Structure 1
Amino acid sequence: MHLYEENRVAVCARDAEPADADRLNWRDAADWTLVVNTASGTTGPWSWPEGNGPRRVVETANFDEWLESIVAGRGIGIVPEVAERRIHHPALCFLPLDGAPPIRVRLAYLPNAGAGAQPALLRRFLDAASTCTHASEA
């Protein structure tokens, strides 16, 4: 179920070159080294048409490794803008990212999971999520 779309922001080490900029542009991705969380990241080489993304990619296995790789200046990360409110690290800098496609936030569930009262509870949850999403769009 599609809930909403969220803008992307770039994150880099405070003492890295991109931190001097006011903002970055999605079209300039080929010039960046992109740090990608292969376990749960939302942006990676797959986010660009073939040949248009970053030429250099640093893959990490989890969030902590991703974060520390960026802090160490190995490259930049690209995350949903909610991350700017959730990630608090004194060595990081968040930059607006012009021209980036939004990230689609979806709710995934197994429609036939459980028995008894669970299907009714799932339906109520899905209805509530849908109602909240539609209310925020108004």
Structure 2
Amino acid sequence: MTMELRHLRAFLAITEEGTITRAAARLHTGQPALSRTLRQLETHLGVRLVDRSTHHLELTAAGRTFRERAAAALAAVDRALDPRSLASLPLRLGHPWAALGDLTVPLLRRWDEEHPDVPLELRRVDDRTAGLTQGTVDVALLRGEVTAPGLVTELLMEEDRVAVVPAGSALAARDTLTLADLASSPIALNTVAGTTTLALWPASGRPTETIEVTNTDEWLTAIAVGRAVGISTSATPRLHTHPSIVYRPLTDAPPVPLVLAWRSGTPTHPAIETLVRLARELVAGL
């Protein structure tokens, strides 16, 4: 027979109350049923836990040892099933690049001040959903269209696009740039988590050469050494300065949505709603 938590609770009630009668009343069950539960537990363990030969029940040596184990096991289960205990778990915030831009540090500082009992862990994950669909983070800051199924999104803002070009190039000498200005150069495309595709350009004027990279570091390097130009959002210049890279406003490209995303239909971290409210508050203050 499979043992259940009720067997442990029944045994502990008997040890605490001292008689089957009082234990049965405490558990709101009948004495015969409680006696059967105790016998089932003893049969499963292969030892006698309670000495029934005296007027008052007494634990055997095996019963005293098992009492400690049963109490520890039930305490662990109760803690695991208590939703309040989840509040102390770290809240893992993923992002593939740029996080919340120049609001990243204010977000982390405000969180530490207002919610010291819930660590907020910022994790960069080079993935389209920053590890959200794999379960490695609880919530993610994502840019562009979010197409992965089973996710809930909250729009925080729309970021302007910027052109990213090598310092010292002819393009770097311009105050602003257009998509057409970039079309004659190789375009660095982050194929894992980027928001730039050739679909930004009209079919008749698309770049003919691209360089594919898989993360932000490779993307920055390709531009810095003069192999390509790139397109990003206004959040990137604030987090990624480089002496060999220049950022210029891109005047004719649509903005990029920035969203907070989390999984739907499964148990989620109870602090996600609090994080959403704080992020909205910080964005509203811009």
TM-score interval for Structure 1 and Structure 2 normalised by the shorter chain: 0.7 to 0.9
Deviation at 1:5, TM superposition (A): 0.3
Which residue pairs with 1:87 in the alignment? 240
RMSD: 2.2
* Matching residue's letter, 2:272: L
Which residue pairs with 2:229 in the alignment? 76
Q: Is 2:125 the counterpart of 1:125?
A: no
Q: Is 2:256 the counterpart of 1:103?
A: yes
Which residue pairs with 1:8 in the alignment? 161
Contact 1:5/1:105 (8 A) holds in 2: yes
Secondary structure in 2 matching 1:98: coil
2-structure distance, mates of 1:83, 1:47: 19
Contact 1:9/1:78 (8 A) holds in 2: yes
Contact 1:27/1:99 (8 A) holds in 2: no
Name the TM-score, length of structure 1 as normaliser: 0.80
Which residue pairs with 2:219 in the alignment? 66
Percent identity between the aligned chains?
32
Q: Out of 77-86 and 52-61, give the one that drifted further.
A: 52-61
Higher relative helix content: 2
Deviation at 1:27, TM superposition (A): 4.2
Q: Out of 26-35 and 62-71, give the one that drifted further.
A: 26-35
Structure exhibiting the larger radius of gyration computed from Cα positions:
2
Instruction: Give 5+ residue unaligned stretches, structure 1.
Output: none
Structure number with greater CO (CA < 8 Å, separation at least 6) is 1
Deviation at 1:44, TM superposition (A): 2.1
Instruction: Give 5+ residue unaligned stretches, structure 2.
Output: 1-153
Contact 2:200/2:253 (8 A) holds in 1: no
2-structure distance, mates of 1:51, 1:45: 11
